[in-house]
Each structure stands twice: as structure tokens, then as C-alpha cells.
Amino acid sequence: MDSYPAPALALVETMHEAASQEPARAIAFQGAPGANSHRAVNEWDPHALPLPCFSFAAAIEAVKEGRASCAMIPIENSQAGRVADIHFLLPESGLSIVGEHFLPIHHALMALGTQGPFTGAFSHPHALTQSRHYLREKGIVPLSHADTAGAAAHVAELGEPQLAAIAPKLAADLYGLEIVEENVEDAADNTTRFVVLAREALDPAMLAGQETMTTFVFEVKNIPAALYKALGGFATNGVNMTKLESYQKGASFAATMFYADIVGAPGDPAVDRAMEELAFHCKGVRMFGTYPMARQRG
């Protein structure tokens, strides 16, 4: 189980046992019980059996090994940007994106009691960054932890009343902490986008009549204006590209990969023409899946 705090480990073991009985209902997520990813699983499928995993790689492995039907993975946050590592893990996973979910993020300050004063607050670095103005105003030192709910379990395990955690309200219920203050995030519209990963991709033809998203990665040829030419087909064919991010492949700094989301699906003539033009200017294109759009773009 890696290194969950003791209060979380007991819950993890119980949830793993339940998931092992019905893996078809299990959805893997990274973090301790009570994390935002746990909340996302509950919202996505209230009848699912959440399967906590210590790392993103472990959550992906649970799906590949058949211990979970899919994994709920955060891919980007409106305040902190893209989630580290996922762009590298996804191409290597062999899994496909079959859905997306947008989760409003609300952080709460929690501790053994509500009196204070509190000298420090544990949480995931993203949550600390998203609450930095609040922490500065209260004079609370931010203390990094592997994940938000794990931080709450850690505070419960330490038993020191001057220490707090920033985590979802669900974590306070699970680990016997009290809510000191709700909504301590600096931005009221703080939102995380999750993707759902499964072993089998959805057939785009089965999504006919629905608003869809398609995700893929590509590597352009190492020649002048290659990216400009590769993307030109999306403009000329009226295909909306809602996301384009670059990342380095390997240590040579000569191979740049691009991660992209577009509105639409293969089989749509405009999408097919745009993808054909993209492929002409690329060393390779890899599709990650077409899936129902959870929120309108634009």
C-alpha cells in the first residue's frame, strides 16, 4: 500500500477488499480516501467502488491488470495548469480516454479542533498554491504532502492541535477532523478536469449525435514551419482545437511532442480532412480516444 498514514491505510485496505470482489464496478484513483479524485469518482458514478492508489502509475496499472474497470485521472486545473507526469504516463499506458469530468474544487481548513491558532497546514502543493493568499493572511506555514486527503489523515495521526490540513470536506468526515473554515481557495471558480481511462476505446460511430471530444498526441517533422502547417488543416476545416500543449520526449531536446484536444470525432469529414493534413506534416500521430463532451467549449 506504499506509505499512506495509518488512518488512511485502514480505509484503503477496506476499499481494496470491496473492489476485489467486483472489479467491474471499481474505478481507480490516485490519492488517499477523501481526495478530490475520490469525489470525482463518486460524482462520475455514484454506484462505483472507488479504488485508492498511491500514485498515478498504480491507478493506471490497476486498470491494465483488470483490478478496476477504469481510472479517474486529473489532467488539468484552472489555477495550477496541467497535472505533472500525466502527459508521459498516458502514452505509455496503452489505455484510452472514454470520458471527462469537471470537478469544482473547494478546499477546507481542518484540524483536531477549531480553536487554533494553527502554525502549519499540510496539503498537496497544488492545494497550497491555490490557497496561498488565505494561508498568508492567517499566518499559517504551508507544509507539503503527497495529496490533500493524505494530509488530513497525517494530521489525524500526528494528534497535534496546532497543525491543520487543507483538504476536501469529505476527508474531515473520514478522519475525524473538524472543519475550521470552508472555501479557503483563492479563486471561487477553481476547477479540475479529469479524464476517464479504460482498456478499450469507444467507437466514434457509437457516439453519433452527441457532442464529442477527441484527444491525440503528435510529433511534427523537424523542419521550419512544420507546426504551423500541421495545424493549418484544423483552421481551414473549421475544427475547434481547445487544447494544445508541448512537452519534451527524452533528453535530446530535439523531439517535441504535442498533446491536443479537438471538438469532434473521426468519421466527421472535417475532422478526417484535418487529421489527414496533420499526419502529412508529422512523424507520428497517436489517438487517445473519442468521448462525450462534458462541458461546452468556447
The per-residue pLDDT for range 217-256, each reduced to its tens digit, is 999 988 888 899 999 999 999 999 999 998 877 666 666 8
Residue 52, by phi and psi: left (phi above 0), alpha (psi -120 to 50) or beta? beta
Task: For residue range 185-199, list pLDDT tens digits in order.
Answer: 998 898 999 999 999
Residues 49 and 11 in one domain: yes
Question: How many structural domains are present in the chain?
Answer: 3
CATH number of the structural domain spanning residue 51: 3.40.190.10
297 occurs within a structural domain: no
216 given a catalytic annotation: no
**Domain carrying residue 261:** 204-292
69 occurs within a structural domain: yes
Residues 24 and 51 in one domain: yes
239 occurs within a structural domain: yes
Residues 212 and 283 in one domain: yes
Residues 18 and 100 in one domain: yes
Residues 223 and 136 in one domain: no
Q: What is the mean pLDDT of the chain?
A: 93
Cα dihedral 136/139/142/143 (nearest 10): 180
Rounded CA separation 221/285 (Å):
11
Confidence of residue 80 (pLDDT cuts 50, 70, 90): confident
Residues 97 and 176 in one domain: no
186 occurs within a structural domain: no
43 occurs within a structural domain: yes
194 given a catalytic annotation: yes
Residues 61 and 86 in one domain: yes
Which residue is catalytic, options 192, 212, 214, 215?
A: 192
267 occurs within a structural domain: yes
DSSP assigned state of 116? -
Check pLDDT > 90 for residue 83.
no
Which residue is catalytic, options 29, 54, 122, 194?
A: 194
Residues 281 and 224 in one domain: yes
Centroid of chain to Cα 128 = 17
Helix H segments across the chain? 6-21, 36-44, 56-64, 86-93, 125-130, 132-138, 148-158, 169-175, 226-236, 269-280
Confidence of residue 143 (pLDDT cuts 50, 70, 90): very high
Residues 13 and 90 in one domain: yes
pTM for the model? 0.92
DSSP assigned state of 32? S
pLDDT at position 256: 80
Residue 247, by phi and psi: left (phi above 0), alpha (psi -120 to 50) or beta? beta
CATH number of the structural domain spanning residue 212: 3.30.70.260
Residues 10 and 100 in one domain: yes
Residues 96 and 153 in one domain: no
pLDDT at position 43: 97
